[in-house]
Structure 1
Amino acid sequence: MFGGRIFGYLATVFFVLCQGHAYAAESKLRSLYTTLQKCKSVERLQLPERTLGQAKGSGILRCRGINGYSIYVIDDDPRSWLVLERDNRLAPLDRQMVSDFKIGNFPNVAGSKNVEWRVDRHGKAVGLIVRVSYQRSDISANSPASQASALFAFDIRDFPPSLLGIAQNNAEARELLDKALR
């Protein structure tokens, strides 16, 4: 009888551990990358609240994303930011990437080569990570040390996307998304 209880207990523990492992494997996200280089130039972009057009010192590029997403890089010298497009709807990210940017001056994504998409086990895009370069405000602009960057992590399950946080490295940015998207 005592041996039967131990066997039953061990079988239950084994079952729970296997289920926990299966759940962790199902919820794990992976990364795919698309380029912000070699994108098509666009003359005009009609946003919900305003129209953007190319002008001297500015530009609009349309880059391919994944899962039906497109990414527009809006280069509004000396700042740049992104607009996401999905299902013919546009989500400007200028508030998160420029207006609310408090860690330095002149936030810029135009120099970024890639964006990182976090996808679920079905291959559906659920998160976006993009590097934003900026000029540190606590160091002279003439110093090479004034150049810095941070990674913005966006939850893109809903539209418009929401900024989950800003990280200093890829592991931190992925962790922000992975925790929020479980």
Structure 2
Amino acid sequence: MKGFKEFLLRGNVIDLAVAVVIGAAFTAIVTVIVNSIINPAIGAVFNASSLDDALKVDIPTVAGGKPATLLFGAVIGAVINFVIVAAVVYFALVLPVNHLKKVAFERVKKNEEQTPQDVPPTDVEVLLEIRDLLRSQGGAALPAGGGAHVAPSDAPEGPGIAGSTKL
């Protein structure tokens, strides 16, 4: 029962349910537009009451009964219906979502590029820089082991650090 509850509340199921409901409502709107505006306009060109009644082709049957009717107008109406739905979905949903994804991706990428520059150097890196500067100024005054600890009597004379005259 716990797994079923997690499945229902996961979010994907709810998103899918919303999509189905909105899709059904949207399909009703498109169907009304096609049946009320497009079909009569195209049907007028073909002298029919709607596109479903246009471009009918009767095929005689072999037994001489009632002829079969091919409804090319209905097929054209379905294609127009599909193109309208596809255009609205693309321009109202796909295009804006792709734009938002692109903007979000660029923002994340920009933040990733700025992060390494904002990181301050570690204490060890600063100490290594100081050691290298002192070596270049004072020569062999530092012990050969890297100078992990410098006694005040071993340090070179100079302006000093933080107000002292010796290191």
Higher relative contact order (CA 8 A, sep 6+): 1
- After TM superposition, the score normalised by the length of structure 2 is 0.27
| Greater strand proportion | 1
- After TM superposition, the score normalised by the length of structure 1 is 0.26
| Greater helix proportion | 2
